[in-house]
Amino acid sequence: EAARFDVIIIGAGAAGLHCAWQAAARGLKVIVIDHAKQAGKKILISGGGRCNFTNMYASPENYLSNNPHFCKSALSRYTQWDFIALVEKHGIAYHEKTLGQLFCDHSAKDIVRMLLDECAQYGARVQLRTEVTAVSHAANVYSVTTSQGTLHAPELVVACGGLSMPKLGATPLGYQLAEQFGHRILPVRAGLVPFTLHEQTKQAYSELSGLALDVVASNARASFKEAMLFTHRGLSGPAMLQLSSYWQPGEAFTVDLLPGSDALHELQQLRHDKPKQGLKTALQSWFPKRFALTLAVQHGWPEKNLADCSNELLAQVAEQLHAWHVQPNGTEGYRTAEVTLGGVDTDQLSSKTMASKLQTGLYFIGEVVDVTGWLGGYNFQWAWASAHACAEALGDQ
């Protein structure tokens, strides 16, 4: 009898824990299971250990999905302000870092503790170190066979996240369960992930490792004005992570290295003011020397004083500064990706409840669903909002 519950939730991460306490608060007997030794591991390492738990400007436009409308209902019924109110109720100090991104002042541990406290208050059981070996459904009851025995419940919530950071315990279980019950999985790939460069370019830029520039990175689908960071493997920083979610293998993109300025006009002005200055030296009025020199070598810009540079040459340099062409080799993949794009096709889920349209009593929440947020607290907001929608529906059963 002890193994009978109203709801079994697989995955004690952001979505699973938030769903668990809210379902328990609606009077349900809830258990959350996880194979990890610790609950909310990704929350703990998120935002550099301070957890960027939501974004003040979160709205459906900040999400990628095959169906961009799917996320609207859940996001509008549980907003960033609802989560902020919870954080405030627990007395957790937070601040806006940039662009509406809210972080804990002290530690991401505050968020995990908050969720576990809520679970404890409403009696939702959190059981760790529990491996799932099989799930079956018969006579309207789900049976989840685990390393700690078999659990039964009429409702099953799949909250086991995506594939990013396998070292933290990510597995494909969520996708496997979806497929087991007839759900379509849209192709998955790493998102919010640094780009790697081809060997030759990598060598050319390797000395720049650690250098950050404010840029606008763009392709045909998206454009982000944020920082770009050179690493010893390639290109990272928020602008690159954001663009990676809109990038397909083989594609190139452009980076405006001087956003908001008119490089041609400024070069012509410099030519007028300091005609004896070398072109490469002139570039150093905008960039650190090592970057200016690398750019010049890469583009084959000549060793000339500004006075000897034609308008045509300056126009070419300006064009290359405003649309620096990057042809990545690939990305660092799931090893360092913050999220997984794609996943459980939203066409077969209810946007109101996150319930399966194919199978009674089955729900998918959080990152396992084909809804992926931008960098900046949006992914947690989706986890909170989808968990809330599901918990409300569970309570209505």
Nearest to ligand FAD of 170, 217 (CB atom): 170
Cα–Cα distance, 386 to 380 (Å, whole number): 10
Determine if 12 is a binding residue for ligand FAD (CB under 6 A). yes
User: Would you give the DSSP letter of residue 11?
Assistant: -
Nearest to ligand FAD of 234, 376 (CB atom): 376
**CA atoms in the 13 A half-sphere facing the CB of 284:** 10
Nearest to ligand FAD of 52, 196 (CB atom): 52
| Pairing between β-strand 94-96 and β-strand 101-104 as defined by DSSP bridges | antiparallel
User: Would you give the DSSP letter of residue 355?
Assistant: B
Taking the CA atoms of 342, 348, 350 and 353 in sequence, report the sign of the dihedral they define. Answer: negative
Contact residue for ligand FAD among 7, 8, 15, 393 (CB under 6 A): 15
Least distance between ligand FAD and beta carbon 329 (Å): 22
Task: Please identify, among the stretches 5-13, 73-81, 85-93, 194-202, the one whose residues bind ligand FAD according to the rule CB under 6 A.
Answer: 5-13
Write down the H helix ranges in 53-198. Answer: 72-77, 80-89, 109-122, 173-180
Nearest to ligand FAD of 47, 234 (CB atom): 47
Determine if 383 is a binding residue for ligand FAD (CB under 6 A). yes
Determine if 110 is a binding residue for ligand FAD (CB under 6 A). no
**CA atoms in the 13 A half-sphere facing the CB of 5:** 27
Determine if 47 is a binding residue for ligand FAD (CB under 6 A). yes
User: Chain centroid to CA 383: how far?
Assistant: 11
**Three-class DSSP category at 226:** strand
Total residues interacting with ligand FAD, rule: CB under 6 A:
36
Query: By beta-carbon distance, which residue lies closest to ligand FAD?
Result: 13
Task: Please identify, among the stretches 1-9, 42-50, 115-123, 354-362, the one whose residues bind ligand FAD according to the rule CB under 6 A.
Answer: 42-50
Is-contact 46 34, C-beta < 8 A?
no
Determine if 380 is a binding residue for ligand FAD (CB under 6 A). yes
Cα–Cα distance, 304 to 215 (Å, whole number): 27
Cα–Cα distance, 364 to 162 (Å, whole number): 12
**CA atoms in the 13 A half-sphere facing the CB of 266:** 17
Determine if 126 is a binding residue for ligand FAD (CB under 6 A). no
Least distance between ligand FAD and beta carbon 209 (Å): 20
Determine if 51 is a binding residue for ligand FAD (CB under 6 A). yes
Nearest to ligand FAD of 166, 302 (CB atom): 166
Bridge partners of 143, per DSSP, are 136, 152
Is-contact 256 216, C-beta < 8 A?
yes
- Burial bucket for residue 142 (CB in 10 Å: 0-12, 13-18, 19+): buried
Determine if 160 is a binding residue for ligand FAD (CB under 6 A). yes
Task: Please identify, among the stretches 40-48, 91-99, 217-225, 234-242, the one whose residues bind ligand FAD according to the rule CB under 6 A.
Answer: 40-48
Determine if 31 is a binding residue for ligand FAD (CB under 6 A). no
Least distance between ligand FAD and beta carbon 369 (Å): 8
Residues binding ligand FAD (CB under 6 A): 10-16, 34-36, 41-42, 45-47, 51-52, 132, 159-161, 164-165, 169-171, 173, 338-339, 366-367, 377-380, 383
